[in-house]
């Protein structure tokens, strides 16, 4: 973790993950992650409805594909990406500079507590970057305060695992017969905003109104071929090998390879696009 990052103590674990090994992996594989989500890119931008003069905040911007898309659309405004991962932000800055996007900027911060200027943004967007807050009401309240009255929040989040074949297939394969990890439904993680009832309660308590959900399903692409997809997914979910002995690890890795070889590199996925307005 870099020393300049100020995080809320409740987010310390997420910060050490994202501003550590995991963020490093995402930074090194930025293209592959962007390609995995490519089916969502255009519909998500359409939902964001960014106008030329907008000030846009991208929460959990990672390596910044959405921030760059936002900056291009906000040609007379600007886009600010915020993220916990220094390594991912380095990639984001390099890519924005390489594209000459002078209206894109990035800040290394915890969106839950960062002192954003009040009422400064027209739109806050996030592509799978808002599910990791330890205190989501506090985090969304902070984001709400950064939006002008009438400003919009547009987030892409995962629906529950049952609709996400990619997640179930890979984690079942790597579990190698062990029970799957079962985090509490409200624990920070990819599925923490999967339940619309919970999201309505969280966003309502944070000061948002007009909360709407649009379901969306797309195939996700994990690599050119089975070998590439195996390497990529193993890097992403390799933490699931923790606690297995050598034989168990070999079996889990082989299971994953067999699953991908049998299935191919495209997997079903399901998301919500959640829209809300600052009252």
What residues make contact with ligand SAM under the rule CB under 6 A? 11, 14, 18, 23, 33, 60-63, 65-66, 82-85, 88, 110-112, 127-129, 132-133
Closer CB to ligand SAM, residue 131 or residue 252? 131
Closer CB to ligand SAM, residue 107 or residue 268? 107
First to last CA, the chain: 36
How far apart (Å, rounded) are the C-alpha atoms in residues 152 and 89? 24
68 with 99: CB under 8 angstroms? yes
Minimum distance between the CB of residue 65 and ligand SAM, rounded to whole angstroms?
6
Distinct helix (H) and strand (E) counts, the chain? 11, 7
Give the closest residue to 46 by CA, choosing from 158, 196, 154. Answer: 154
Minimum distance between the CB of residue 246 and ligand SAM, rounded to whole angstroms?
30
* Full DSSP string of 103-136: TEEEEES-TTT--PPTT-EEEEEEES-STT-SSH
Q: Among all chains, which residue has been given the structure tokens 């800055």?
A: 93
Closer CB to ligand SAM, residue 129 or residue 176? 129
Closer CB to ligand SAM, residue 107 or residue 266? 107
Minimum distance between the CB of residue 241 and ligand SAM, rounded to whole angstroms?
20
Minimum distance between the CB of residue 248 and ligand SAM, rounded to whole angstroms?
27
Closer CB to ligand SAM, residue 63 or residue 277? 63
Kindly compute the dihedral angle of the four CA atoms of residues 109, 113, 118, 122, in this order, to the nearest 10 degrees: 60
Minimum distance between the CB of residue 279 and ligand SAM, rounded to whole angstroms?
24
């Amino acid at each position: 973790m870099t020393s300049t990052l100020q995080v809320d103590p409740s987010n310390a674990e997420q910060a050490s993950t994202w501003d550590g090994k995991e963020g490093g992996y995402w930074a090194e594989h930025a293209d592959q992650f962007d390609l995995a989500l490519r089916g969502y890119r255009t519909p998500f931008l359409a939902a964001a409805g960014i106008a030329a003069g907008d000030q846009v905040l991208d929460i959990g911007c990672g390596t910044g594909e959405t921030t760059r898309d936002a900056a291009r659309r906000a040609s007379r405004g600007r886009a600010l990406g915020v993220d916990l991962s220094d390594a991912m932000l380095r990639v984001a800055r390099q890519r924005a500079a390489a594209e000459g996007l002078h209206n894109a900027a990035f800040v290394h911060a915890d969106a839950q507590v960062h002192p954003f200027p009040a009422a400064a943004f027209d739109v806050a967007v996030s592509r799978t970057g808002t599910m990791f807050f330890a205190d989501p009401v506090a985090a969304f309240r902070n984001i709400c305060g950064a939006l002008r009255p009438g400003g919009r929040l547009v987030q892409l989040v995962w629906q529950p695992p049952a609709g996400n074949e990619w997640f179930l297939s890979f984690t079942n394969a790597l579990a190698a017969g062990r029970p799957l990890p079962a985090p509490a439904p409200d624990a920070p993680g990819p599925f923490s905003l999967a339940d619309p009832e919970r999201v309505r309660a969280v966003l309502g308590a944070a000061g948002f109104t007009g909360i709407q959900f649009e379901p969306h399903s797309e195939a996700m692409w994990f690599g050119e071929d089975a070998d590439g997809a195996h390497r990529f997914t193993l890097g992403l979910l390799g933490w699931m090998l923790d606690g297995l002995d050598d034989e168990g690890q070999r079996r889990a890795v082989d299971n994953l390879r067999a699953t991908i070889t049998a299935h191919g590199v495209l997997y079903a996925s399901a998301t919500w696009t959640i829209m809300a307005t600052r009252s």
